[in-house]
Amino acid sequence: MSCIAAAAYLDREQMIVSHLPQVKLIAQSFRQRCPPEVLLEDLVSVGTIGLIHAVDRFDPSRNLKLKTIAEHRIRGAMLDYLRQLDPLPRTIRQFARQREEALSRMEERRDRVPSDDPDGRRTRSAIGEVSPPDSGHPRQFDRRSRYRRQAGRSSAASFSTPAP
């Protein structure tokens, strides 16, 4: 290993070690919003890999701070890790969050926990017709199919000729 390569390696290693506290700080902020199954050590290790990628891609001639680039890479690596752990897609998580918010609004308005009525009409209308994306639920409102059904009825009636 030449003297220049050894100096570059030590410089790279020094940059990584000097930014490790940043990885721990970001991991702690992520950990506060995660379920208990997600370990802080896992977030730190994934964030460290993101930091190494940031140091490898760092170009001092671009007049950007390594801290800024590293923060984006660290956060991105942690988000990718958390998405990989989550078995549900984000759209389903978003639906569940919207549903919980609607139920809590209903509870605040009525000063009681909302109850399900037999066919669920009042609950869905109060929630604002929230249904999971691509659920294929038969009661999901579809304006086009309603118009098609109406058009089908009217067209069948218009083609029928009176008997002589």
Q: Quick one: 73 and 111 in the same domain?
A: no
What's the domain count of the chain?
2
Of the residues 38, 72, 87, the one at which a domain ends: 87
Looking at the whole model, is its pTM more than 0.85?
no
Query: Is residue 34 in some structural domain?
Result: yes
Domain that holds residue 150: 91-155
Q: Could you say which DSSP state residue 142 is in? A: -
Q: 117-143 pLDDT, tens per residue? A: 555 555 555 555 555 555 454 444 444
Q: Quick one: 140 and 110 in the same domain?
A: yes
Query: Is residue 142 in some structural domain?
Result: yes
SS3 content of the chain, % helix, strand, coil (to 5): 70, 0, 30
Instruction: Output the CA angle 42-45-49, nearest 5 degrees.
Output: 140
Q: 52-74 pLDDT, tens per residue? A: 999 999 888 888 888 999 999 99
Q: Could you say which DSSP state residue 160 is in? A: P
Residue 73 CA to residue 125 CA, distance in Å, equals: 43
CA 139 to chain centre: 26
